[in-house]
């Protein structure tokens, strides 16, 4: 089951894609690059277009979004192997939150091209039609 996105509505299409990616996360991680961030460094900014997927390996990340009339809403993420930015990557929409390292953080960054290539591969017995 896809985790709840802190600020976006997740379609059934995105849930299916998420399930396919979850099943292949180890393959994706092997194709990614390990990156380390110090506390307070920004991984990505609200309003920017995603160029890949961040897979949280160690540490804690704070996702903060600015909402009209409400102000800033923040959510902490610290689950190991938690994908960040997946739904925006799939939907082709800008990030709806800024991701900042709350502690020292280690992620595996998987470029968009690698994710798109995975999604283009057909499932067993089915034709792929994600993009």
pLDDT digits (tens, 9 = 90+) for 44-74: 999 999 999 999 999 999 999 987 777 778 8
| 12-120 classified as CATH 3.40.630.30 | no
Q: Which comes out higher in pLDDT, residue 118 or 131?
A: 118
pTM of the model: 0.77
Cα dihedral value 61, 67, 70, 76, nearest 10: -10
Both tokens assigned to 103: 């502690």
Sheet holding 82-84, edge to edge: 33-37, 105-111, 52-58, 82-84
pLDDT at 70: 74
CA–CA distance, 128 with 122 (Å, rounded to integer): 4
Q: What is the 3-state secondary structure (H, E, C) of 46-94?
A: CCCCCCEEEEEEECCEEEEEEECCCEEEEEEECCCCEEECHHHHHHCCC
DSSP type of residue 7: S
Q: pLDDT by residue (tens digit) across 12-55?
A: 776 777 777 777 888 888 889 999 999 999 999 999 999 999 99
């Amino acid at each position: 089951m896809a985790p709840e996105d802190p600020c976006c509505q997740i379609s059934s299409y995105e849930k299916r894609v998420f399930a396919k990616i979850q099943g292949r996360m180890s393959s994706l991680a092997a194709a990614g690059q390990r990156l380390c961030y110090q506390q307070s460094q920004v991984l990505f900014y609200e309003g920017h277009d995603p160029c890949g997927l961040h897979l949280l390996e160690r540490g804690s990340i704070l996702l903060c979004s600015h909402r009209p009339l409400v102000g800033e809403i923040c959510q902490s993420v610290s689950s190991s192997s938690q994908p960040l930015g997946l739904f925006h990557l799939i939907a082709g929409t800008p990030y709806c939150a800024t991701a900042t390292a709350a502690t020292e953080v280690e992620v595996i960054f998987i470029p968009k091209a690698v994710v798109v290539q995975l999604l283009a591969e057909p499932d067993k017995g089915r034709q792929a039609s994600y993009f």
